[in-house]
Amino acid sequence: MFLKKTTKVSVIILGLLLFTVVVFGYDHLITHPKLTNGAITIYNNQTSNKLTNQQQNWIVEGSIAEDTDPRYLNHYYDPTTGQGLNGGISAKQWAQVQGSISGDYSEKAILENYKQGNYKRAYQGVGHILHLIQDMSVPAHTRNDS
């Protein structure tokens, strides 16, 4: 009886190990768009000046694009030190002032693009900033101790 139970448990454990899949908590193609759409829904429910479908799409595009190389290196902020990953630029600094070959989506650039009528780039910038805010809910993004 003991041997049957041990064999059964061993088969179950082996099956779990063989048929596991990699799971990412914050997949930039799944999680960030869903979180962003949730934020958009809350915004649209609170205002009479609702975002158009096009504006919503631009914001979601930005929330996805923020995870491209090398932007993701600036998604960390340790509130106890004010530092980013390994002493690099923090997410807080990154949202305020960017100097990246992959584009400037800082607060200042968003406002400047909007003033100049470059609405697509401005709304994409909002998505980039939302992505950073979303990442701050992940402990691995807020402390450099993992």
Residue 5 lies in a domain: no
Is 12 a domain residue? no
CATH code for the domain in which residue 118 is found: 1.10.575.10
pLDDT digits (tens, 9 = 90+) for 28-82: 678 999 999 999 999 999 999 999 999 999 999 999 999 888 888 888 988 888 8
Please report, as a single letter, which amino acid is at residue 32: H
Range scoring the smallest mean pLDDT among 4-8, 13-17, 95-99:
13-17
**pTM score, whole prediction:** 0.78
Q: Where are the alpha helices (DSSP H) in the chain?
A: 2-18, 31-46, 53-65, 91-96, 107-115, 119-135, 139-142
Predicted local distance difference test score (pLDDT) of residue 107: 92
> What per-residue confidence (pLDDT) applies to 131?
94
The answer to whether residue 126 sits within a structural domain is: yes
Q: Which domain holds residue 51?
A: 28-142
- Residue 3, domain member (yes or no): no
Q: What is the mean pLDDT of the chain?
A: 85
Domain count across the chain: 1
